Amino acid sequence: MIETEGAVCLIWEKLNDFFDLHGDIASIQEITERINAGVRFRGTNLSVLMLAIFIASIGLNMNSTAVIIGAMLISPLMGSILGIGYGLARYDSTYIRSSAGSLLAQVIISVATSTLYFSLTPIDAPSSELLARTSPTIWDVLIAAFGGLAGIIGVTRREGGNVIPGVAIATALMPPLCTAGYGIATGVMAYTVGALYLFFINSFFICLTAFIVLKIIDIPSKIERNSVEFSRQKRYLMAFAVLVTLPSCFFAYQSVQENLENEQAKIYIEENFKALPHLAISYTLDSQKKTLTVFTITGISEDDLAVLTEKLHKKAHLRAFQLEIFSPKDREEMEAMIDQRLSKVEKSAIPSMQEQQTVTALKSVREESEKQGTYILDWNREARIVFPQISHIAVGSVRAPAGTGDKSAALSETQIAFIYLQSDMDEASRARLTEWISDKAKNRVEVHFLPEVSATNENKGGTVSEDGVHIS
């Protein structure tokens, strides 16, 4: 027993020596000078801040990660936040007020500068980089905490190294302020609130970790505080940290749920709508209304809809979702439906990634309809004269990643024509018809020959519209 305790003590001593923060600590004077330099907000720091804000705003506007990183590298925001943590550790109320005032001035100038930029830029659509700063999650809290620890440890070393630039990139203090300015410029206050909340999370946890590390290395206090007062201070800070973290936990939960729903929806579409007879043009998932809408080339019978709905509800995260199948009956109905859904999505205060995909998908359906509408009627009229075996032609397109499954890969589009035959057609005629369709489309068209839908099946779930599209 004694030997075991001795071994544990030895291991603990080794670990303590290994992670000791006192070994290469800088002098108190050096630490103070570094923090003072960061807190000063005039002259060079002011100019660099405004330039960094313009650079970051352009990067967010153009969705350029590299430009945003460049802005974060030169941003002087970290200094004032560390200064507040330094003041808390020293119980120096004057220093806290000075650092907080400097930080407040930086925030105001940053938001005002970004608001000016986004008020003038002709590109006002929110990029993915902007949207990523509107809903902070628990992971942002962890990044801020670990980044703050790395930052204050770097500041307190004899050789600071390149820790601070790395922390500036990791914690991303600059982009949230630019996003807040974007929200003000566009009148979407939800963007502003979400972005400022992210900035507050980053600032608070950087400040908190600075306080903890400075206490560990025994930074001298300006005034003496007993252990009771110190314990009370710690309780207040921890309680406030919990309160700050709670909204991010909720956002994180929502994010995880949406990701799981999107992933299962993708699998479901791959399993059920990527081959004949049910071939989808696109689909949208509405997590709020709990609906999965699938845009199909051909109509689907009620029996098939029931089977597909049952399969949908077998997915653990899609059990509460309703399946909606949409195939164009006529152009007016399609346009009305698309306009209605686009209006609802575009009015969202903070459009999610899924909502953006919804907009893209719906606009794609509209473009496809407009493109096809000019020639589907001609195809059906002309083809049935040249090839009397044809009942009607339905046309659509499918999109898939080109080459690999990489998310960054471009999408390839393939046009598809469904030839419904009322009588058999020999191979030579099929080859001529395929060539004729490709010539009409001025592009390669994947042609599929199908038997004409029986009257029984039409009564169940389909008719043929004027333009030759089989619909439900």
pLDDT class of 462 with cuts at 50, 70, 90: very low
pLDDT class of 436 with cuts at 50, 70, 90: confident
pTM of the model: 0.61
DSSP state of 297: S
pLDDT at 433 > cutoff 70: yes
pLDDT at 180 > cutoff 90: yes
Tell me the CATH architecture of domain 376-471. 2-Layer Sandwich (3.30)
**Separation between Cα atoms, residue 208 and residue 202, nearest integer Å:** 10
**Separation between Cα atoms, residue 68 and residue 218, nearest integer Å:** 37
Query: How many CA atoms, within 13 angstroms, populate the side-chain half-sphere of residue 309?
Result: 14
* pLDDT, position 27: 81
Helices (H), 121-137: 128-131
Q: Which positions ≥6 away from 133 have C-beta within 8 Å?
A: 172, 175, 176, 179, 194, 195, 198
Domain boundaries of the chain, sorted by first residue: 2-224, 257-352, 376-471
* pLDDT, position 115: 94
Q: Which tokens belong to 255?
A: 């994010």
pLDDT class of 471 with cuts at 50, 70, 90: very low
Please tell me whether residue 411 adopts helix, strand or coil conformation.
strand
pLDDT digits (tens, 9 = 90+) for 137-149: 888 888 888 888 8
* pLDDT, position 223: 73
pLDDT at 248 > cutoff 90: no
Alpha-carbon torsion angle 120, 122, 125, 129, nearest 10:
-70
Helices (H), 187-226: 189-216
